[in-house]
Amino acid sequence: MRNIRLMIAAALLACSGAAQATTVVVFVEPMTFERYTRVFETPGRDRLLMCMAPPSTAGCTEFPIKSASHH
């Protein structure tokens, strides 16, 4: 299930428009390891982040993605 969610998030990034970048953040609950995803339109490049859910203060891990425009 985790891999499916990450693949969906990566597909969302690949489909984003050239003028606006997409940041996909996968939040993980530290006690239960449940995950939920939020998608943000942001300036700059497309990004995929995995973060501990608030109010956790742990940092995020950024995953490298391959942009569809770089084929």
Residues in CB range of 23: below 8 A, 6 or more apart: 39, 40, 41, 42, 46, 47, 48, 49
Are 27 and 55 in contact by the 8 Å Cβ rule? The answer is: no
Are 46 and 13 in contact by the 8 Å Cβ rule? The answer is: yes
Confidence of residue 67 (pLDDT cuts 50, 70, 90): low
The per-residue pLDDT for range 9-36, each reduced to its tens digit, is 666 555 544 557 889 999 999 889 999 9
Query: For the chain, what are the domain ranges?
Result: 2-66
pLDDT of residue 43: 87
